Structure 1
Amino acid sequence: MEYRTLGNSGTIVSNYALGTMTFGAEADEGTSHTILENYVGAGGNFIDTADVYTAGASEEIIGRWFASRPGARDAVVLASKGRFPMGIHPNDVGTSRKHLTRALDDSLRRLGVEQIDLYQMHAWDPITPIEETLRFLHDAVTSGKIGYYGFSNFLGWQLTKAVHLARAHGWHLPVTLQPQYSLLVREIELEIVPASLDAGLGLLPWSPLAGGWLSGKYKRDEAPAGATRLGENPQRGMEAWTERNANPHTWDVVGAVADIAAARGVSASQVALAWVAGRPAVTSVLLGARTTEQLADNLGAADLVLTAREIEQLTRVSEPRVGVYPYGPKAQEQRSRKIAGGR
């Protein structure tokens, strides 16, 4: 496992984090605890959850694991999130001081900890003034309830506005952004990655396997079946599956990943994860396993180093298909060089 600083902070985290959205839903408590043990045993030290994951059950499962394993809390960097509905009342949602005060205290209680190392706003709140949210986060850092804060699913302008307002007021600055990012979802490179680089934030990509597409589970024009998320529960997103299946770009990318995996004697998942982990600004990639077998396969990416030729091949075939001003082909080429550190 490789270790990196958590964005522009001095805290050290492994370059693969354990996402726990499956805990209490697709993974029962026993399986979840085994996944935690195996992840930490492999050298991972970064655990990510959220209050809304299984209506708080994910945090509770992690909390009971901490309680049953002396020293575990000190050994890991713990991240959680708040913003989405946790009740039926008007103030049970959002990033207002009122909601976040209760949401943070509830997360601390469920996790059984005195401090959450990284507390993230799960999404932008169009109602609450961002100054109110930032002041709450500043106060939470100052009080010791959280160590750092970050954002998730923010757009480029939202991220930049928040950073500059925090700096202007002399408040604590964010350290990370958690966006969706994979070989099939690279549009964040148009605005969000440059904004994160400009602000010195570390990226924590979620869904790096694009919902299982990059693991090689799905076959062209074959409806999902068997032990896959869509096979077991088609209601989770068959409309999106149909759209992605009909897009030739999808299969160009999936094919390139499969070719490299076969040539290297590794899994497709490991190739796709290694590519994301090596992208500019990426601090740690979230692994979302439902089973211990999935986790073991994903952790194999930690030992995989892609060659420059393999990286170039994957990057070229997965280039976002944006063809209008100001995101045409020439602009994309210039932006790619800038992100990669060129001129």
Structure 2
Amino acid sequence: MPNVRYRRLGRTALKVSELCLGTMNFGPRTPEKESHDILDNAVEIGVNFIDTANQYGGDLGVGATETIIGKWLALDRCRRDRIVLATKVHQPMSSDINDRGLSARHIQMACDASLKRLQVDHIDLYQFHHIDRLASVEELWQATERLIAQGKVTYIGSSNFPGWKIAQMNEKASASGRLGLVCEQSPYNLIERRAELEVIPAAMEYGVGVIAWSPLAGGLLAGPPEKNSGRRQSDVIKMARSVRADQLARFETLCCGLGETPSAVALAWTLHQQGIAAAIIGPSSVEQLSSLVHVPEIQFGAQLLSDIDAIFAPCGAAPEAYAW
């Protein structure tokens, strides 16, 4: 069995698996039965971190993914105690003008709705899915403090926040004796490295663990698309591969020399970066999950990291560099 490893979630004492099971495919691309099989296999190998969002569901409608997870949890109530369950709030849930965003009212109502769909009494990690520039920091902390006091939420995190917002949120929290944001879920991979400029430095300064989403850049870093490879056959991905053909060819040659798939190397690279608490994988089948479970065991030396940087250049020594 693969040697699953665990890391602290930011400055908390909570331990989460380095590979976080993302569930956005559950429902829209992966039927309920196979989604449950993926969950079973993930827990069996030691993955204890499961991430979702209230809006996930695609053509099946918002909330469908949480409902699928809730049905899986209901099949065996012991499962709830074995996982760190994370979901998110912000995205529109209906046409109602107030059924979206981060007003205190919506946060409370959305949390209650997520608890019902997930069939649980509490959420371990409740994340702001995006910034709501109309919602003050005070309103956000008032709303989440109430959820924590009610026992409905344990930790608060953010997603897609810039560095300045992470700093602002945690400075305000510290001033009022709150724990504040404990993690930030950010797009981060070999192609999208802008988080290195501000987000990761801010997160590390404030003890905020970074959860990398899209570590395979939407499939660009997964190697040449095969038949029935889903969105990797899309026109958008084909165009992106065409634009980066030379770069991706160099990367795929490097991976071949290592005896590893591009997916495994790209994911392992993410786990070798500073400040990363976990990387999200979004398998649409048990087979895809099985192909990635060994990734935490892959070790990179300084030369290999340098070789990869030569293909996918880092963003630079920010945040101070541009000021001089």
TM beyond 0.5: yes
Q: Choose from 35, 47, 53 the match for 2:56.
A: 53
1:132 is matched with 139
Residue 15 (structure 1) shift: 0.4
Which of 64, 75, 92 lines up with 1:85 in the alignment?
92
| 13, 28, 36: which one aligns with 2:39 | 36
After superposition, residues 315-334 of structure 1 pair within 5 angstroms as 315-320=309-314, 332=316, 334=317
Q: How does 1:280-299 map to 2 (within 5 A)?
A: 280-299=274-293
What CA distance in whole angstroms lies between the structure 2 residues aligned with 1:309 and 1:336? 25
* Corresponding residue to 1:261 among 255, 259, 263: 255
Query: Is 1:312 the counterpart of 2:306 in the alignment?
Result: yes
Deviation of the 1:246 alpha carbon = 5.1
Are positions 1:12 and 2:15 aligned together? Answer: yes
Query: Per the alignment, in what secondary structure is the counterpart of residue 185 of structure 1?
Result: coil
- 3-state DSSP of counterpart to 1:71: helix
User: Contact 1:119–1:150 at 8 Å: present in 2 too?
Assistant: yes
Q: Which moved more, 1:95-104 or 1:135-144?
A: 135-144
- 1:138 positional shift: 2.1
Distance in structure 2 (CA, Å) of the matches to 1:297 and 1:261: 15
Other-structure match for 1:160: 167
SS in 2 for 1:283: strand
- 1:257 touches 1:272 (CA, 8 Å); kept in 2? no
SS at match of 2:126: strand
Does the alignment pair 1:98 with 2:112? no
Paired AA for residue 85 in structure 2:
L
Identify the residue that residue 25 of structure 2 maps to in structure 1.
22
Q: Quick check: 2:189–2:214 contact (8 Å CA) kept in 1?
A: yes
Deviation at 1:251, TM superposition (A): 3.7
- Taking a change above 3 Å as real, the CA distance of residues 162 and 241 of structure 1, as seen in their structure-2 partners, is farther
In structure 1, runs of 5+ residues without a counterpart are 219-223, 323-331, 339-343
Tell me the amino acid that sits aligned with residue 34 of structure 2: T
SS at match of 1:133: helix
| Residue of structure 2 equivalent to 1:341 | none
Bigger mean CA deviation after superposition, 76-85 or 302-311:
302-311
Q: Specify the alignment match of 1:188 in structure 2.
A: 195
The amino acid across from 1:56 in the alignment is: G
SS of 2:170 mapped into structure 1: helix
Counterpart-to-counterpart distance in 2, 1:278 and 1:337: 23
C-alpha distance in structure 2 between counterparts of 1:193 and 1:86, whole Å: 30
Q: In structure 2, what is the equivalent of residue 227 of structure 1?
A: 229
Identity %: 35
Distance 1:164 1:337 in 2: 20
Counterpart of 1:303?
297
Please say if 1:112 is aligned against 2:115: no
Deviations 1:117-164 (A, max 9, x none): 000000000111122012211222232111101000011111111111
Equivalent residue number for residue 67 of structure 1: 74
The alpha-carbon deviation at position 225 of structure 1 amounts to 6.2
- Correspondence 1:175 to 2:175: no
- Corresponding residue for residue 327 of structure 1: none
Residues 41-96 of structure 1: CA distance to partner in whole angstroms, max 9, x if unpaired? 11110000010000111111111111112411100100000100111111100000
Provide closer, same or farther for how the CA distance between residues 162 and 110 of structure 1 changes in structure 2, counting only shifts above 3 A.
same
Q: Normalized against structure 1, the TM-score is what? A: 0.87
Deviation sequence 1:240-294 (CA, Å, 0-9, x none): 753x34544x642x23432232122221111000000111010011001111111
Q: Counterparts of 1:12 and 1:171 in 2: how far apart (Å)?
A: 20
**1 CA distance for matches of 2:145 and 2:181?**
9
Q: Which amino acid aligns with 2:223?
A: G
TM-aligned CA distance change 1:200 to 1:265, over 3 Å:
same
The 8 Å contact of residues 257 and 271 in structure 1, kept in 2 or not, is answered as no
RMSD over aligned Cα, in angstroms? 2.0
Q: Deviations over 1:277-317 (max 9, x none)?
A: 11101001100111111111122312222222212211332
Q: Report the CA distance between 1:239 and its aligned residue.
A: 4.8
Contact 1:22 1:290 in 2 (8 A): yes
The Cα shift of 1:337 comes to 12
* Structure 2 counterpart of 1:208: 215
Counterpart-to-counterpart distance in 2, 1:246 and 1:25? 27
Whether the aligned pair in 1 keeps the contact of 2:34 and 2:285 (CA below 8 Å) is: yes
Does residue 142 (structure 1) correspond to residue 144 (structure 2)? The answer is: no
**Residues 256 and 314 of structure 1 are in contact (CA less than 8 Å); yes or no, is this contact kept in structure 2?**
no
